[in-house]
Every structure is written in C-alpha cells, then in structure tokens.
C-alpha cells in the first residue's frame, strides 16, 4: 500500500494494511478529516500478462455499486476514485463479525432490511458468505463492505459502455440476479443460525441448512481450488491460510507505522 495518498482535503497517511490478495489490497489511512479506507485494485502483471485491466474493471464496477447504494444506512460513504484502480470510502468504527459472537436482537433484522433494499434495487450482494464482510458498528449496528463481486442488472457501467449488454442477454442477466439474491438470503439465514438461533423459527433453521443446486455446484468447483491455493500458500509462507479479517491474529495485529518513502505510484496518482 502507498505510504501516503492525496485526497481533496490534503494528505492521508497509511496506518495499516488489512488485506492484500490477487485482486486488490485494502488499507487504513488517517488525515485531515479522520480515517478513510483505500481499496487499491490490482496493477501488477501475471507472469507476462498485464493485470492492471483487472484492477480498473473491478474498481469501476464497485464504484457503480457504491453510487447505487450511496443513501443507504449500513453502507460506508464512498469518497471517490483514487488513481487508476483505487477507491476510497469512509472508515466504519467497529469490527468484523467474529466467530460465535452474540449480537443484539436488532442486528440481523437490520441486516435483513439492508439486504432486502439491495434486492429491491436489482442488486445481489453475492459475498455474504464471508463473515468478515459484515461489520458490527460501534453501536452494534450492521454494516456491509466490499461490493467487488456484487451483481447489479442492468448496471450503470453496462448501460454506459454497452459491453456487458452485448455479451450477456437481458434474460440471462436477470436470471443470474435472482439466483444470486437467493444466495444472499441463504447466507443471511446461515449467519443468523450461527449467531442468534434463538431468533429463528424451526422452519427457518431447517432452511438455513438447505443448499440449492448452484451452491452445491460452487462448492464442488471451489473446494479443489481452495485446497490448491492453501498448498501453494503453505509452500511459500509456511501458513495454510492468509490472515483473516475476523481472525484473532488480525484483530491483535498492531497498526503499522507510516515510515518509508512515498511510492512512485503515490506521487504520480490523482486525488479522490
């Protein structure tokens, strides 16, 4: 992550890197208006294949999603684009939903209302399976972050460029939307069963175990890839898994200092 970034009101200094994977890196910054989060899409090549187009594509898609939900409580305010592949959003005081954490009675009803409103706006969140994408705010309220793989049909980007509209027929786009929204509802029930089963009916608990056809297919495909990734990670780092945003090592990791020279990317990029 860059040591310093320029936003509209001045410079912000890097405090900590939360996540750094194939597609993006996410870090915490502090400046004149407080703390913000920078999500920086991929810029490095993969062997000899340029990779910056991946970062630009995912960044533009996520910006479209943030703009579509800009007025919703429970979604951090997006502050704009940074450089070619980055976006900045407001920092949410709180923590990722922890394993076996007991949240208050209103937590999941509020989260359900947020998910329902996303669906009403023709959006599927898609990444609700990951517990670390659900934040417990300082007042106990739910927040959703990371709209990188969310699906909106039709999207603003598709309407503007026509690219996706040419590649994906409207019926197929709508079909994907409905199936992915079903996945959101399933994962919401699953989290609720794990954290507050006392708030569910017997029928809802039964439904939280019921995997649909596409979920079963996804697991069959993704499981071998996950095992391969972990084997490679073990070879390279000695760890089976990378640090998780809802894991104890992540929670206890001290904030990194901002020492070091400002990277060339920082010096050359634009402001948000």
Q: What is the mean pLDDT of residues 88-117?
A: 96
Residues constituting the chain: 272
Residue 40, pLDDT above cutoff 50: yes
Identify the H or E element spanning 189: helix 170-195
* Tokens describing residue 19: 């996540």
| Residues 53-87 pLDDT 10s | 888 999 999 999 999 999 999 999 999 999 999 99
| φ, ψ dihedrals at 267, nearest 5° | -70, -35
Average pLDDT value over all residues in the chain: 83
Sequence-ordered list of residues with C-beta below 8 angstroms from that of 137, at least 6 positions apart, any chain: 92, 93, 94, 143
Confidence of residue 216 (pLDDT cuts 50, 70, 90): low
**Which homologous superfamily is 10-91 in?**
Phosphorylase Kinase; domain 1 (3.30.200.20)
Q: What is the mean pLDDT of residues 218-226?
A: 70
Looking at the domain that runs over 94-210, which CATH code has it been given?
A: 1.10.510.10
Can you give the pLDDT at residue 47?
A: 80
Confidence of residue 253 (pLDDT cuts 50, 70, 90): very low
What separation in angstroms does the CA of 238 have from each of 26, 183, 232, 235, 253?
23, 34, 9, 6, 18
**CATH 3.30.200.20 residue spans of the chain:** 10-91
**CATH 1.10.510.10 residue spans of the chain:** 94-210
Q: Biggest alpha carbon distance in the chain?
A: 58
Q: Name the burial class of residue 149, with classes exposed (0-12), middle (13-18) and buried (19+) by CB atoms within 10 angstroms of its CB.
A: middle
Residue 269, pLDDT above cutoff 50: no
């Amino acid at each position: 992550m860059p040591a310093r970034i320029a936003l509209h009101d001045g410079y912000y200094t890097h405090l900590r890197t939360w996540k750094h994977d194939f597609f993006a890196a996410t870090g915490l910054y502090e400046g004149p208006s407080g703390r913000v989060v920078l999500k920086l899409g991929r810029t490095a090549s993969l062997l000899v294949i340029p990779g910056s187009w991946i970062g630009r594509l995912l960044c533009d898609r996520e910006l479209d999603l943030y703009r579509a939900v800009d007025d919703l409580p429970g979604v951090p305010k997006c502050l704009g684009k940074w450089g070619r592949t980055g976006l900045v959003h407001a920092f949410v005081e709180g923590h990722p939903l922890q394993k076996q954490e007991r949240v208050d009675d209103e937590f999941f009803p509020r989260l359900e209302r947020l998910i329902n409103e996303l669906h009403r706006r023709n959006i599927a969140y898609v990444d609700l399976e990951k517990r670390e994408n659900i934040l417990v705010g300082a007042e106990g309220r739910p927040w959703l972050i990371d709209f990188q793989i969310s699906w909106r049909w039709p999207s603003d980007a598709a309407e503007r460029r026509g690219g996706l509209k040419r590649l994906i027929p409207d019926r197929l786009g709508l079909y994907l939307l409905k199936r992915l929204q079903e996945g959101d509802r399933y994962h919401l029930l699953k989290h609720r069963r794990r954290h507050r089963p006392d708030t569910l009916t017997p029928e809802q608990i039964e439904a939280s175990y019921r995997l649909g056809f596409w979920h079963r297919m996804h697991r069959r495909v993704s499981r071998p890839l996950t095992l391969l990734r972990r084997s490679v990670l073990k070879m390279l780092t000695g760890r089976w898994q990378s640090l998780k945003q809802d894991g104890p090592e992540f929670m206890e990791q001290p904030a990194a200092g901002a020492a070091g020279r400002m990277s060339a990317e920082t010096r050359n990029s634009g402001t948000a």
